[in-house]
């Protein structure tokens, strides 16, 4: 059974810092991996999608990597801003569903 | 291109009642998935519909049921509501099965009292 873990559960950093969020999984048989952002009480915003054949994807200040052999993905956020404050979730595409981590709650202090 | 829409936005029901949530998929998408997200947790997969047929189901009881219509819109029905059904219900659409990127609607916040 696929299990997805996100560490840390919460993170608070000063504005301007570069930071890394981690996502680990137990089964490497995945189709893709997505990183999402969720603001309090809101729905999900897709940030990056990495297909299983890819190693990384970049969008603006965001870079996500995927290492299936070690069961890990990281989301790198460069030059963090207060507007980046949100919960970040990773989700693995496996068979017909997405399997989710519980998220990392990120607070960027001005 | 119209994104995924869900209705209603918020809903309050009483324990034991029944509820229907609706989702319109993104234009061109033939697959709809439903997820339940309890407060402070990641979403949990309920089921998926592909071309009007159930294509997979998570660990939810039969009182959670669904439909997909010829225009690929979808409904989630929950009977005999329980307090633990209070959650954000998310709908996602994708193209030709779950291998492809899923696009999410804004969700329906259900409160059961």
| Cβ pair A42:B48 closer than 8 A | no
Higher pLDDT, A31 or B91: B91
Nearest to A34 among B99, B101, B107 (CB): B101
Q: What is the pLDDT of residue B95?
A: 84
Element (H, E) at A45: strand A44-51
Please indicate if any CB of chain B lies within 8 Å of the CB of A60: no
Q: What is the pLDDT of residue B99?
A: 56
- DSSP string across chain B: ----EEE-SEEEE-TT--EEEEEEPPTT--EEEEEEE-TTS--EEEEEEETTEEEEE-S--TTEEEEE-TTS-EEEEE-S--GGG-EEEEEEEESSSTTSPPEE---EEEEE-
Interval A38-55 mean pLDDT? 91
Q: What is the pLDDT of residue B100?
A: 66
Please indicate if any CB of chain B lies within 8 Å of the CB of A44: yes
Q: Which residues 62-91 on chain A approach chain B with CB closer than 8 angstroms?
A: 89, 91
Interval A51-72 mean pLDDT? 95
CB B1 within 8 A of CB B88: no
CA separation (Å) from A6 to A90, A104, B56, B113?
Answer: 8, 6, 25, 32
Q: What is the pLDDT of residue A96?
A: 79
Interface residue of B10, B43, B90 to substitute, partner A, most A CBs within 10 Å:
B43
3-state secondary structure of A89: strand
Interval A86-107 mean pLDDT? 93
User: Which residues in chain B come in under a pLDDT of 70?
Assistant: 1, 97-100
3-state secondary structure of A23: strand
Q: Would you mind telling me the total number of residues written for chain A in this entry? A: 110
Q: What is the pLDDT of residue B90?
A: 97
Q: What is the pLDDT of residue B98?
A: 47
Task: Give the whole-angstrom CA distance, residue A93 versus residue A107.
Answer: 27
Å from A100 to nearest chain B CA? 6
> In degrees, to the nearest 5, what angle opens at C-alpha B74 toward C-alphas B68 and B78?
105
How distant is the alpha carbon of residue A79 from its chain centre? 17
Interval A41-47 mean pLDDT? 89
């Amino acid at each position: 059974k696929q299990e997805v873990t996100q560490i840390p559960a919460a993170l608070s950093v000063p504005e301007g810092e570069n930071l890394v969020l981690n996502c680990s999984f137990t089964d490497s048989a995945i189709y893709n991996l997505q990183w999402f952002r969720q603001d309090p009480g809101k729905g999900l915003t897709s940030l990056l999608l990495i297909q299983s054949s890819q190693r990384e994807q970049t969008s603006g200040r965001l870079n996500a990597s995927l290492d299936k052999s070690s069961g890990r993905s990281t989301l790198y956020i460069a030059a963090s801003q207060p507007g980046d404050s949100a919960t970040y979730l990773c989700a693995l595409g496996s068979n017909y569903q997405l399997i989710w981590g519980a998220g990392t709650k990120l607070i960027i202090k001005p | 291109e119209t994104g995924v829409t869900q209705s209603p936005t918020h809903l309050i029901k009483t324990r034991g009642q029944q509820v229907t949530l609706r989702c319109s998929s993104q234009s061109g998408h033939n697959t709809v998935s439903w997820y339940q997200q309890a407060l402070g947790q990641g979403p949990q997969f309920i089921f998926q519909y592909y071309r009007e047929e159930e294509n997979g189901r998570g660990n939810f009881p039969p009182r959670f049921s669904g439909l997909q219509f010829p225009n690929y819109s979808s409904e989630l029905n929950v009977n005999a509501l329980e307090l633990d059904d209070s959650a954000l219900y998310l709908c996602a659409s994708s193209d030709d099965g779950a291998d492809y990127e899923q696009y999410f609607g804004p969700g329906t916040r259900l409160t059961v009292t």
